Amino acid sequence: MLLLFCIAFVIFTTKIFAEVSPLVVYIDPGHGGMDGGASIGEVKESNLTLEISKKIKEVFESNSIQVVLTRETDDDLSDGSFVKREDMLNRVTQINTSNASLALSIHLNKFSMEKYRGAQVFYSKTNSNNQLLAETMQTSLSLYLKNTERKIVKRDNIFLLNKVTIPCCIIECGFMSNKEEFQLLQTADYQYKIAYALLYGVEDYLKLY
């Protein structure tokens, strides 16, 4: 009887813990508002990162991972007139004062030569788990998108990476300057593909962490 009670108690408390303490991931759609980021014609990086981030939120939450976005509209995070540092500080503050387990900042690349393509992950040494997170995300992106053999890159000059204290990395989802990839990046199907690749990357990170 005592054994049955203990088993029932463990099941009950585990269920309660899962209900009140879901895994939380912060997703930061890069740029926004006055800061459109890279652009090709009338298509701005800030709009694409928001579209992709909303797909990530949908996919993650359908797999029991709670997602909080730093922005949900095409606005920056400045308090009034746009100031880049203020915008970035507000993103960092949101993430660092949350109960999130990790953060992903979503961006798109652009280069002067069209031949470059593929997703790539940037990280810093601010948190000891950043490299592991970056490696699992890069591996998953390479495996599921099948568009790159790129490796992770440590960047010490990116404000967000240097200031966010929880595990965090920047996901460059692809190159807007590559015509073929740019067309893919604008489609819902490919955006969902990115979202699932990131989901699998997070799941792999949690297994290794």
In the predicted structure, residue 9 carries a pLDDT above the cut 90: no
Q: Which CATH class is domain 23-208?
A: alpha beta
CB atoms within 10 A of CB 116: 17
Least confident of 33-42, 81-90, 120-129: 81-90
- Residue 178 per-residue DSSP state: S
pTM for the predicted model, two decimal places: 0.89
CA distance 204 to 206: 5
Quote the pLDDT of residue 21: 57
Listed by start position, the domains of the chain span 23-208
Condensed to tens digits (0 to 9), the pLDDT of residues 96-149 reads 999 999 999 999 999 999 999 999 999 999 999 999 999 999 999 999 999 888
Quote the pLDDT of residue 81: 82
In the predicted structure, residue 11 carries a pLDDT above the cut 90: no
pLDDT grade, residue 41 (50/70/90)? Answer: very high
